[in-house]
Amino acid sequence: MFKLALLFFMLFAGETWSAGEKECGSLEYCDEYKSNVHDLYSLQRGLGLYKNYCSSCHTLKYLRWNRLQRDLDIPESILTEDLIGSPEVKTSDFITFGLPEISAIGAPDLTLRTRVRGEEWIYTYLRTFYDDIDQPTGANNLVYPGTAMLNVLSGLQGRQELTPDGRLLKSSDGTMTKEEFDLAIGDLVTFLAYASEPARITRERNGIFVILFFIVFTAVMWLLNREYTKDIK
Ligand code: HEC
């Protein structure tokens, strides 16, 4: 009984006091976000944004084009012409967008970044860029102060400034409203979450069947046990 209580305590403690886990770079909390990798259209929109706004600097070098094509249901012509766009690249190649192995400007590979940072970290990071003339890139970030990444999404989001009390204030409009931009970044993070574990789509789907199987199996075994022990009692 004591061991069971200890086990429950440890599980509960891990959930509640996982040291520092809630912290979001230099922010106290990240904005909440939970990806749904079963939403195919969200994944496809995320891929579109990635291709247009991220692929000039960041690779996805642990993911292959043909796996992406299969999982996101991408037609062959769109894959080869719009996404790959080079006859030298095979569909079985890793997704490098022709970038060098090590980025000259220090842009990390993003395949596993949601596993390292967490989805909410990246969701908050991509929405908290603001203008800062003291930075070489002209932009700074609330989550990752002094980041070397340019504010590449300012055309969509609009520009933001930091107020003296540490809040972000919009200084010019982008092509998207705040709600649209948040949804777009959600799609992007969902796509990155998929990239970090493509098997999650099937794993989560199969998991439901496995649990259903166990429930049915337990019920059958319970009935069988009742039948067997009926005469013993
Ligand atoms: C012009 C090049 C460039 C583009 C385009 C770009 N990034 Fe970056 N990104 C960088 C650089 C450089 C860093 C490294 C920042 C640092 O460590 O200070 C970075 C860092 C990051 C990080 C933090 C990685 C980490 O864990 O430290 C994330 C997440 C990220 N980028 C996502 C994106 C996404 C998503 C896009 C597309 C919307 C994008 N980036 C577009 C250059 C770029």
pLDDT confidence of residue 116: 95
Ligand 1, CB cutoff 6 Å, lining residues:
53-54, 56-58, 105-108, 110, 113, 116-117, 122, 125-126, 147-150, 152-153, 188
| Structure confidence by residue, pLDDT tens digits, 33-74 | 999 999 999 999 999 999 999 999 999 999 999 999 999 999
pLDDT confidence of residue 6: 62
Q: How far is the CA of 24 from the centre of ligand 1 (A)?
A: 16
- Ligand 1 atom 2: residue of nearest CA: 57
Mean pLDDT throughout 70-83? 96
| Structure confidence by residue, pLDDT tens digits, 184-203 | 999 999 999 999 999 999 99
Instruction: State how far the alpha carbon of 197 is from the alpha carbons of 43, 51, 69, 115, 185, in Å.
Output: 13, 19, 15, 9, 19
| Structure confidence by residue, pLDDT tens digits, 85-133 | 999 999 999 999 999 999 999 999 999 999 999 999 999 999 999 999 9
Candidate of 58, 97, 112, 192 to mutate for ligand 1, largest count of ligand atoms within 8 Å of Cβ: 58
pLDDT confidence of residue 19: 44
- 131 contact partners, CB below 8 Å, separation of at least 6: 138, 139, 140, 151, 159, 160, 161, 171
Q: How far is the CA of 146 from the centre of ligand 1 (A)?
A: 12
